Every structure is written in C-alpha cells, then in structure tokens.
Amino acid sequence: MKYLLLDTNIYIDMIVSRSSSHTADSYELLKMLLDHDKVKIILPAIIEAEIKRHIASEIKNVGKLVQKARMSIDNIYWINHVEELAKYNEKIKPFNQTLGNMVDEFRKNEEQYISDADQKITELMEYKNVIRIEENNDILLNVQKRKLYKLCPFHVEDKESWADALIIETLINIRDFININDEDQIYLVTRNHKDFSKGNSITEKDLIHPHIEDQLMKNELIQHFYYRLLYTKTLIEDFAEESKEANIYQSLMEEAEEERIAMIDDLRQELREMEREASGLTSLSSEETYIDEISDSDQVQELISTYDSLLSSLNIEIENVIVEYYQFVDDMKAKSLADLIARIKTYNVQSPFLQVSYENNFTEEDVRESILAFVNDHLCSIETLESSFDSIDYIDYFELNELLSFTDLDYKTVTLSAVGHLDPRDADKDSIWIELHKNDDRISYGEIEVNYGYMNFDEDGGASDGSADSIDYHFKKVIKDLNIVVNENIKSINEMSSDLMKMRVILSI
C-alpha cells in the first residue's frame, strides 16, 4: 500500500486557485485515485482543523483581491484632452464593468462559496481510503518535548509551529495507528520546505530535516519514507502505475507542466532573493515588507501624528460649539417671552438687513422657534455641526486605503488617501500617492517613491553593477495643505461660537 500524507496547503490549493500548479481538476483527480483502492491518505486531525480554519479566510481573500483590483481601476485617470480621454474611457470601461460585476457577484455568493468549500473539504476528509488520525496524549507530550528541545519545526526562531509539530509526531509514530508492512511506502508532500527540509538551498530543500530523519530511523520507518515538495510531480513519478490504472495520468501530466513552470519561477525568484540578500538589499518577497518599513518611517509617523492632532482638535471644537448651542437653547427657553420680544424688536430696528422674523400674532412657541431658525440659518447651524462631527473618521496607522475623512461645513467631503500598488521587482520602482481630495477635486498630492534596487553579478560571482534600494518621501505640501483645510474649518467653527455669543448678548441671556 502507498500512503499520502499531504500538508494543509495542498488541500487548500485544490479548493482555492492560488497556485497555477493545481488545476480545478485536482480535487476530483485525488478522489479518483482513492477510488482505485491502492492508495490511502493519512490525515492527522490537526490538518483537517487547519484546513477548515483557513478555508473561509482564503475565500474571503479572493473577494478582497477582486475589490482591490476594482479600486485600482477607479484610481486611474488620463490626460484631459478630449480625444485622448475618449480613447481612454473606451478602453477602461470594459475592465471597470467586468471587475464591478465580479465584485457584486462575489458579495452575493460569498457565503455560498464558503459553504460549498467547507462541504467539499468535509466530503474529501470522509472519503474512502482516508485514514483520519486523532492525536493521543503521547503525541501531545512529544510535541511539547519538540518545543522544549527546539527540534524541527521549532528550530525556526520566533515561530510557533504547533500544527507542523503534530504532523511530524503523527508521521514518526505512525505504527501506533497503522500496521505498516514491509512493502508499504509513505509519502509526505508539502510546499513548506522552510519548516520540514534540511535547509533552504537548492540542494538541501529536497531533503527532510535531520531531526525528522533521525527519529524515522529510530522507529524503523526510514526505509518506508519519501519526502516530496511537488504534489503533481509526486503522483506522476511515484504513483505512475496507480495513476494510469485510475485513468488520471494524462490529466496529471497536463497539471504537472503548470507545476514545473511554477517551480522554475520559484527557483529563479529564490536565486534573485539570495543575490539580493548577499548584496544587503531588501527581500522582494511581498509588498508587506515595504509597507511595514513605510509605516514605521519618521515621515509617515509625522503624517499620522499631524492628522491625528488636527482631527482631534476639529472634533473637540465642534463638540464644544454643539454643547454651547444646546446650552443657548436651554437658556433661551428660560428667558421670559416679554424680554425676548423686546430684544428682538430692538435688534430688528438696529439691523434692517438681517432680522429675526416676528409678527404681533406670534405665539410663545413661534417666537422661540423664530429665534432658533435665525440662529441656524445665519449664525450656527446645528445640523451642519452634527453632520460634520459624525463624519470624522481616521485611522492611527498606515495602509493603502483612505486614511481620513470628514464632511466640512459646506457639506463637502475631505479625504486623505494612500493610493497605489507595490509590485517588488529588481531594477524597478513604484509610487504610492498621498492624495488630499475635497469631493472629487484633488487639491493636493505627494509621493512615496519606492526604488527596489538591484545587483548584477559577473561570471566569477563578483558584483558587476547595481543600485541600492531606497524609499523617498515627498508629501510635505500635503501636510501643509491638510493643515490649511482643517484649520479653515476650525476657524469657521470658532466664528459660529463667536456669533452664538453675540446672539446671547443681543437677547441678554
């Protein structure tokens, strides 16, 4: 019998198309192989738990990626010449509509996608020839020992690898759960060479870590054991006879070509990463590395501190005037009607162009409502204040998204956003744009320029030419203009407070 012990990511890749090395047929092909009764799957319970824990977030991430692509389209604009703009709109419209439809479709069906994925995983976990192994007390104790003695996978610093440790302990103690015969073969297939392999180099990553090898030898399992990093290639080469008999060999061959291309791309990337590391350059592994560095920079921290202080001040000023307004209302209601009418008449005589509405037939309620209408229309609009107060929203960290938003006293929406996309690659650069908008009008912008650098080597392995990586910040003007915009609002709010105080004097309240 041949046994397959597949790592968590292998299963997830069958459901979510994150890797070109797994086609949409992978799931069904594996079931067909199991139907043939010459292959069985070893399934540690922790793998099933990990799959179900991650599958929903992986599917939700699909929606986030589509939404991100849609937002990227929204942030593109073109030269404002009639002919050029018409050409641009004609080309971009289909992309915009297609991505918009995809976003809508995903939102409508997200829960169904998650439910379907969970059902498929459950069906596979309960399929024939799948041996589910629940960890026992001995396994759990051995995992603790691995942690204590820093045995693989705990040899990696600052990484909690409890799930991987459970997989390893299940493997090396497999005789406690399955009767292993002399001719049986066990294949561990994982893409996680950093935790399971001897090393990260090209020659060492195909070899199982010595900590695991030693224990397999001790338990007399090494002669049954095979370590593999490529799932489809394993089925083609090590399960060729079984795959042909199950009528899936040709489909696997087609899938293997995609796996081979992906493997070559990964190798090239690893070589470039090694060269960059040797040159002291930042890893190109993901945009998060650069986002983290940008977030921690003095320049971005200054930006965050500035708008945090500005919007906190704006919030406080608006709140103070709102309190003043409602105190004015209470004090005005406590004022006698005769005094209010006398004050209104006096004011109207002195101010022929801007008057408080008053007629002799006004009731007491009419008089007080007339005063509030005058205050709201000309001095201090409580509706505007409360709308602005409720609209204030900002985050105290940096991300490629809207950083702050509020509605000013003219009902215009002010936003500050970080717009762009980082695609780390050698000898190239990207920009993140810090944009200040009022409604659709961009009133100021700055740039964070990310230069990824590069290093070329000659035939002897020496550095021939290169460029250092760097991040340059150019958004001082945005900070200056943001100060102006917010302080203009604070000035207007202070004027409201002043006008409200003048009205108190006029009415003697």
Contacts of 461 (CB under 8 A, 6+ apart): none
pLDDT of residue 75: 65
> Strands, E, within 63-122: which ranges?
none
Confidence of residue 470 (pLDDT cuts 50, 70, 90): very high
d(CA 204, CA 210): 11
Neighbours of 271 (CB within 10 A): 11
Q: Is the pLDDT of residue 402 over 60?
A: yes
pLDDT of residue 85: 66
Query: What single string gives the DSSP state of each residue in 255-289?
Result: HHHHHHHHHHHHHHHHHHHHHHHHTTPPP-S-HHH
Query: What single string gives the DSSP state of each residue in 314-337?
Result: HHHHHHHHHHHHHHHHHHHHHS-H
The predicted model scores a pTM of: 0.55
**Which has the closest alpha carbon to 228: 207, 252, 251, 201?**
207
Q: Is the pLDDT of residue 323 over 70?
A: yes
Q: Is the pLDDT of residue 266 over 80?
A: no
pLDDT of residue 260: 74
pLDDT of residue 77: 63
Q: Name all contacts of 290-294 with Cβ < 8 Å and 24+ positions apart.
A: 290/422, 290/424, 290/450, 290/471, 291/398, 291/399, 291/400, 291/422, 293/471, 294/398, 294/432, 294/448, 294/450, 294/471
Contacts of 440 (CB under 8 A, 6+ apart): none
pLDDT of residue 103: 81
Here the tokens at position 496 are 């409201």
Confidence of residue 254 (pLDDT cuts 50, 70, 90): confident
Q: Is the pLDDT of residue 156 over 80?
A: no
